Amino acid sequence: MEQLNCITKRVKYKHLTERERYKLEGYLEIKLSAKEIAKRLNKHKATVCREIKRGTILKIGYELDEYSVYRANIAQGDYERKVSNRERSLKIGKDKALEKYIRKRILKDKHSPDAVIGEIKRKGLNFKGMICTKTLYNYIDQGIFSGINNASLWEKRKQKKKKHRQIQRICLRNKGSRSIEERPQEVNNRLEYGHWEGDCVKSRFKKKSGLFVLTERKMREEIILKIKALTQEAILEAIDKLENKYQRYFKDKFKSITFDNGGEFLDWEAIEKSHLYQGKRTLVYFAHPYSSWERGTNENQNRMIRRFIPKGTDIAKISNKEVKKIENWMNNYPRKILGYRTASEMVLEATKNRFGVLN
């Protein structure tokens, strides 16, 4: 009979269970042979012989004579101990392409482990040894990825959210402004595109330059503009620059902006007023004093900017090209809250590029 036509089924190898070991002990007590025991347990005779050897111990009788006997609990304990100490094969070791892809995304593209794994799953990329986010973090903790450690990650595992208390204080120098309490529910609940949070990223101590940053609440789109000083005039100039870019679409793209109570934003009436057309171009809201968490999206984006521009950096020495590069990186970063899609993809789909987004 040819090998290809062999009809003998190959039995998948299985370890003896604890119940089978106790059966084996009973069969030995009634003096059955290893061959007969193997037949009853549906195992190979060699398997039974090895198992008997594993669980055989020496005992001392009443007349102080030694004799050998098989004990199922001894064999089971030995089996469990060896299984627990057995070295587990690494899933990542099965696929060098996956390891190379992860290494590139974390070290070169500065993506988090969660963003890397989430993007792979969303795009349907096929790798042999696919792993989950938790496993990747464990590998990094264990030093399995050479060159990647916790210092390479801009943030560790997700931490518990801090509890914040509601602030009811009024900013005394900004009494006539529009409070965040007046903001419509569609803005609060992120139901509509076009509502932004604004802030400034400061330069090093005693340096006037900085960054004016705007973050869209729903899509997490980011706009970063370099300004010469953190003044009302510089902010107004930056807003006018955006209006010149988007022209008549500005009013649809920037339906509202929520600021903190920094002095550079206090001329909110000028910010709202269009310099190209009649009437208002946007609505300005102000968060409560000392309540940065009310603009949490913007604050989180600022943390990402600080990965590239650490505190103490002189922003005046950073070119507009570098600032644009950071903006593009943030808008093309896969985010868990967006289903591991990017802000660029979400905005392009929602607006069909009507505003020239990211162009």
User: 141 and 184: one domain?
Assistant: no
User: 281 and 331: one domain?
Assistant: yes
Question: Domain boundary at 35, 64, 85, which?
Answer: 85
User: 247 and 179: one domain?
Assistant: yes
User: 52 and 195: one domain?
Assistant: no
Instruction: Please report whether residue 6 resides in a domain.
Output: no
Query: By CB neighbour count within 10 A (0-12 exposed, 13-18 middle, 19+ buried), where does 62 fall?
Result: exposed
Which domain range does residue 122 map to? Answer: 91-152
pLDDT, residue 299, reads: 94
Domains in the chain, number: 3
> For residue range 290-336, what is the model confidence (pLDDT) as tens digits?
888 999 999 999 999 998 999 889 999 999 999 999 999 999 999 99
Contact 264, 270 (CB under 8 A): no
Q: Read off the pTM.
A: 0.71
Nearest-CA neighbor of 215 among 337, 340, 312, 352? 337
Contact 193, 228 (CB under 8 A): no
28 phi, psi to nearest 5 deg: -65, -35
Residue type, 7: I
Instruction: Please report whether residue 309 resides in a domain.
Output: yes
Instruction: Please report whether residue 5 resides in a domain.
Output: no
Question: Domain boundary at 85, 112, 135, which?
Answer: 85
Instruction: Please report whether residue 38 resides in a domain.
Output: yes
Please count the residues of the chain.
Answer: 359
Instruction: Please report whether residue 145 resides in a domain.
Output: yes
Within a 10 A sphere around the Cβ of 303, how many other Cβ atoms? 10
Instruction: Please report whether residue 359 resides in a domain.
Output: no
Instruction: Please report whether residue 9 resides in a domain.
Output: no
CATH classification of the domain holding 40: 1.10.10
Query: By CB neighbour count within 10 A (0-12 exposed, 13-18 middle, 19+ buried), where does 19 fall?
Result: exposed
Place of tokens 């210092």: 151
State the helix-helix crossing angle for 72-85 and 45-55, rounded to 10 degrees.
Answer: 100
Residue type, 149: N
- Mean pLDDT, 10 residues at a time, over the chain (359 residues)? 46 79 91 91 91 87 80 89 67 78 89 91 87 87 80 65 59 77 94 95 88 96 95 95 94 95 92 93 93 92 92 92 96 94 92 57
pLDDT, residue 84, reads: 72
pLDDT, residue 316, reads: 92
Residue type, 185: Q
Question: Domain boundary at 64, 85, 106, which?
Answer: 85
User: 203 and 315: one domain?
Assistant: yes
- CA dist 30 to 26, 27, 187, 189, Å? 7, 5, 80, 75
Question: Residue 79 corresponds to which tokens in the numbers above?
Answer: 């089996």
User: 145 and 204: one domain?
Assistant: no
